[in-house]
């Protein structure tokens, strides 16, 4: 048991020290994906989809904020990518993703008649919120570890 805890702690410490090696095309892919999602989000209401409520316009600002921040961050990573900058940018991206997921959950601009689908979508949004919170905390820990190592 103690060995398992030591392995977990050493894995966390290793994750705090090291980042996944990302290439410029990873950022480019993220930019393109977020631009496509931005287009879709801003046109959903005009497509007259039966499961999109008129209240979707009330959450569009949060979705747009999250997607635009992700695009700007990924463009900046191509041009400038020191570790501290990427960590701070990821914190900001996660905060805006948290705001978007929370806004979607509270407004819930979807018209779905099946309870199980509504429940499943709400569970997915809650998981997204929890993942954003965990990621924010982990990035803060990475930033603190980085600053402490200077």
At residue 13 the predicted structure's pLDDT band, cuts being 50, 70 and 90, is: low
pLDDT score of 7 more than 80: no
The whole-number pLDDT of residue 6 equals: 67
50-61 tens-digit pLDDT: 999 999 999 999
pLDDT score of 87 more than 80: yes
How many domains, in total, are found in the chain? 1
Which DSSP category does 149 fall into? T
Burial 18-37 (b: 16+ CB within 10 A, else e): eeeeeeeeebeebbeebeeb
- 76 closest CA partner among 24, 37, 36: 24
At residue 12 the predicted structure's pLDDT band, cuts being 50, 70 and 90, is: low
88-140 tens-digit pLDDT: 999 999 999 999 999 999 999 999 999 999 999 999 999 999 999 999 999 99
pLDDT score of 14 more than 90: no
Handedness of CA 33, 100, 112, 40 (dihedral sign): negative
- Average pLDDT of the chain is 92
Give pairs for 68-75: CB < 8 Å, separation 24+: 68/38, 69/93, 69/96, 70/30, 70/34, 70/96, 70/97, 71/31, 71/34, 71/35, 71/38, 74/27, 74/28, 74/30, 74/31, 74/34, 75/27, 75/31
23-33 tens-digit pLDDT: 889 999 999 99
Domain that holds residue 61: 2-148
Please count the residues of the chain. Answer: 150
């Amino acid at each position: 048991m103690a060995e398992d805890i030591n392995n977990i702690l050493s894995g966390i410490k290793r994750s705090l020290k090291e980042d996944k090696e990302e290439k410029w095309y990873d950022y480019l892919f993220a930019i393109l994906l977020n631009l496509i999602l931005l287009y879709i989000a801003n046109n959903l209401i005009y497509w007259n989809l039966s499961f999109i409520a008129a209240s979707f316009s009330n959450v569009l600002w949060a979705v747009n904020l999250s997607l635009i921040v992700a695009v700007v961050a990924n463009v900046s990573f191509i041009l400038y990518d020191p570790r501290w900058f990427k960590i701070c940018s990821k914190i900001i991206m996660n905060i805006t993703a948290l705001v978007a997921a929370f806004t979607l959950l509270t407004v819930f601009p979807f018209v779905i008649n099946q309870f199980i689908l509504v429940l499943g979508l709400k569970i997915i949004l809650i998981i997204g919120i929890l993942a954003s919170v965990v990621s924010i905390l982990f990035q803060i820990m990475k930033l603190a570890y980085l600053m402490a190592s200077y």
